[in-house]
Amino acid sequence: MGLRRGIFREATMACIFPKSWDAAIAKNVRDFYDTLSEKAQRRFAAVQARQLGYGSVKYLAKLLGCSRRTIERGLAELDTLPKDPAAGHVRRPGAGRKKKRWPDSPVEQHRKSVLETRTAGDPDDATLVCTDRSPALLSVTMAKMGTPVCAEVMRHWMEAHDLRLRKMAQDLAGGHSPDREAPCERIAALIAAYDEAGHPSCSIDTQAKEPLGKLLRAGRVRSTPAFHACDHDCPSWADGVLIPPGLDDRVRHRGPMNLGVSQDTRPCACDSFRWDGNRLGKRCDPEATSILWLCDCGGSHAANQ
């Protein structure tokens, strides 16, 4: 495969996209899950998580209304079967230690007083409340007030009042365009035609670019020594720019993620197409005579180019 000026390196990472059920199957799974005991519920969720693969723990936790820790505990128990240390032990509905709440206790009074001065809201929406205090900071403040409470308890208390870590939801419509429906209908018709003919159709998108070199990166990793970076993030100090275009096979729900080092995303995307077609496409769809690529437009790859 010829590469364009060597901008595409042989660095490929296979990705498996999370599967999901349709509405009817999801309802059947939820209804059956509600009939099980607590132990059977977490093990049933664990079996389904292993069947669905990557990303299924988060998907099932939201679908079944349980925590991710419950499913992870069920996954750990599956490895011990058929030997079951908890055989015959089933907790009665409503059993277990109850949470203690004292509405008029000093702990509750201090909790409310701390948040009264550290919250903000919307005068037009009384249900919107936000705070800059984390459970750890609230725990320290509570200890100074003479009512020590651990950060984990504060986290559960905040979640009970619907104070959770959230990010902005980009779901506000920017207006209606008279020409918006035409391209969407055209894309839907092309997808249906390719599916009916048995030809593959894939979507591609490039994630955030990442500069290479000794520059600061967000996030943390468990390691013995700390990684070192430059004291300033100057773009000129980077060794290059890493561009990760990912492909998604709509039928198989899987595809590769290629790593390119081009400054231009358009040549990198074309090389990624060629790489995927020569390496995977010929083996997965040997009789295909056409392929449909679904990709959006950007600054360097406009719709008319």
pLDDT digits (tens, 9 = 90+) for 185-217: 888 899 889 888 888 888 877 777 778 888 887
Residue 95 lies in a domain: no
Residue 232 lies in a domain: no
From the CB of residue 182, how many other CB atoms can be counted at a distance below 10 Å?
10
Residue 10 lies in a domain: no
What pLDDT was estimated at residue 262?
A: 66
Backbone angles phi, psi at 304, to 5 degrees: -95, 10
Residue 10 pLDDT class (50, 70, 90 cuts): very low
Please check whether residue 296 is in contact with residue 205, taking contact to mean a CB–CB distance below 8 angstroms.
yes
Residue 31 lies in a domain: yes
**Number of domains the chain is built from:** 3
CA dist 108 → 113, 128, 141 (Å)? 9, 21, 13
143 plus 185 within the same structural domain: no
Residue 8 above 60 pLDDT? Answer: no
What pLDDT was estimated at residue 97?
A: 60
140 plus 25 within the same structural domain: no
198 plus 262 within the same structural domain: yes
204 plus 297 within the same structural domain: yes
292-294 and 201-206 strand pairing:
parallel
What pLDDT was estimated at residue 7?
A: 43
Higher local confidence (pLDDT), 234 or 272: 234
Residue 171 lies in a domain: no
How far is 54 from 72, CA to CA, in rounded Å? 13
Give residue for tokens 């998580």. 49
191 plus 265 within the same structural domain: yes
Residue 193 lies in a domain: yes
Residue 11 lies in a domain: no
280 plus 193 within the same structural domain: yes
Residue 247 above 80 pLDDT? Answer: no
Residue 12 pLDDT class (50, 70, 90 cuts): very low
Structural domain of 274 = 181-212+240-305
